[in-house]
Amino acid sequence: MKKTCCDELFSRAKRVIPGGVNSPVRAFNGVGGTPVFVASGKRQKIRTADGRTLTDYCCSWGAMILGHARGEIVSAVKCAAAHGSTFGIATPAEVDFAERLVSLVPGMDMVRAVNSGTEAVMTALRLARGVTGRTRVLKFDGCYHGHSDTVLVKSGSGVLTMGASSSAGVTPGAVADTLVVPYNDLTAVEQAFAAHGDTIAAVIVEPVAGNMGLVPPGEGFLKGLRKITKNFGALLICDEVINGFRFGFSSYSALYAGITPDLITLGKVIGGGLPLAAVGGRAKWMRQLAPTGPVYQAGTLSGNPLAVAAGLKTLDLLAREQPYGRMAELGSALAVGISTIAAEHGLPVTCQSFNGVFTPFCTDAPVQDLADAKACSTALYAQIFHGLLDRGIYIAPSQFECNFISAAHSAADVDAFLDAFEDVCAHLEPWDEA
């Protein structure tokens, strides 16, 4: 294959794609430098367009839980493609896929397939508003729920805040419909319900926050949300687009939190690397979707045969191989190693991890919400990122993201990561705290 240079690709890309990328984080604005363009991937490795091989800890934000280009998944997709890519007509595999999710996720009586996590959340929110007749949604600062209007809102100052838009083009009406409180702050949720309870349709939460870096829920936080929403007649939506099937072979809510949400959104892992996501939950809510109910939702490519084939095959392989214990062990070895090495070098790095997902936060203190995360040194993170990249390791190009170990990663990869990290720590330049 012809060798291309990432710099040249980026110049070409910037002329025809805004910022040169199809999703902002890929532009490396958080760390500087020229973004990586991937030519191919196999198992835990990716090959860049200029011919470098990197060990990948992004794994498409966790979607590639079995590693890249897994043979059985490639075959399943090829086979599906050979039988027709899309019909706009129902197919048998969609039924298999829905039955599989319903059998694996407690509280998911019915499920609808969509094309992205963004869509799954949009549908969940519309459904919550449709069935409650209420307008507001409460979300947590630093949790990401895709790029639809009402969830592109960040908190202003103060504990209980009406949000401010975090994007141009979001109407004041959409912002007014969104309440934002700090993650892990049950008191703030109680205050929000005390003030606005009769107008809140739903609380939406990432059970383990994954979009400000990895931030686990505090003791009692998720159970508390379940109780408050129930008391006030609001729906609890667990956005498990990252969490679901990532920490174990079901939802986080069922496996670790011991709660049953009203609605659950899934994405990333369940699509096996193709555009596929889902929203599901209690039948009495799900039946309110069109065509049985008044809440409209649709999609030309929803339940797409190629995507469903990749998703089903991924679930088959996960069921058979159950890689979760191994990924968790590798993840904790990595996290402990990172924190230990950083401490030896007197660096403020706290690596938070859970079951193979980790974030090296450049701060001394544990991170429990977005305010803690914002205290991190992004300048130090940028140096760590580029130091690792120079040594053949690709981590998230932003401090405020998770990194993912796949079933294809090995103990040797963890050792190589820690050796590289040690070397990076030994060669850091002074950094600005700005």
What sign results for the dihedral spanned by CA atoms 352, 358, 361, 367?
Answer: negative
Q: How far is the CB of 349 from ligand PLP (least distance, A)?
A: 23
Q: How far is the CB of 304 from ligand PLP (least distance, A)?
A: 14
Size of the site for ligand PLP (CB under 6 A): 16
What tokens appear for 210 in the block? Answer: 């994954």
Of 236, 233, 216, the C-alpha closest to 225 is 236
Q: How far is the CB of 423 from ligand PLP (least distance, A)?
A: 31
Between helix 71-82 and helix 305-321 the angle, nearest 10°, is 150
What tokens appear for 406 in the block? Answer: 């796949």
Q: Among residues 131, 241, 310, 328, which is the contact residue for ligand PLP, using CB under 6 A?
A: 241
Q: Among residues 242, 373, 376, 425, which is the contact residue for ligand PLP, using CB under 6 A?
A: 242
Of 273, 277, 275, the C-alpha closest to 264 is 277
Positions 78 through 107 that interact with ligand PLP (CB under 6 A)? none
Q: Among residues 146, 207, 217, 273, which is the contact residue for ligand PLP, using CB under 6 A?
A: 146
Among 57, 144, 183, 381, the one annotated catalytic:
144
Token pair 């912002």 is found at 175
Q: Is residue 96 among the annotated active site residues?
A: no
Q: Among residues 197, 210, 303, 305, which is the contact residue for ligand PLP, using CB under 6 A?
A: 210
177 in contact with ligand PLP (CB under 6 A):
no
Among 239, 369, 372, 413, the one annotated catalytic:
239
- Encoded one letter per residue, x for contact with ligand PLP by CB under 6 A and - for no contact, window 270-289 reads -------x------------
**Nearest position to ligand PLP, beta carbon:** 117
Q: How far is the CB of 241 from ligand PLP (least distance, A)?
A: 4
Among 45, 139, 268, 313, the one annotated catalytic:
268
Contacts of 221 (CB under 8 A, 6+ apart): 184, 186
Q: Is residue 413 among the annotated active site residues?
A: no
Q: In what order do the strands lie in the sheet with 45-48?
A: 38-42, 45-48, 53-56, 393-394
Q: Report which DSSP code applies to 273.
A: T
Between helix 186-196 and helix 221-232 the angle, nearest 10°, is 10
Positions 42 through 61 that interact with ligand PLP (CB under 6 A)? 61
The phi and psi torsions of 48 (rounded to 5 degrees) equal -80, 165
Q: Among residues 35, 267, 280, 387, which is the contact residue for ligand PLP, using CB under 6 A?
A: 267
Contacts of 419 (CB under 8 A, 6+ apart): none
- Stated as kind and residue range, the H or E segment containing 413 is helix 411-426
**First-last CA distance in the chain:** 43
355 in contact with ligand PLP (CB under 6 A):
no
118 in contact with ligand PLP (CB under 6 A):
yes
Supply the residues annotated as catalytic. Answer: 144, 239, 268
For ligand PLP, the binding residues (CB under 6 A) are: 61, 116-118, 121, 144-146, 206, 210-211, 239, 241-242, 267, 277
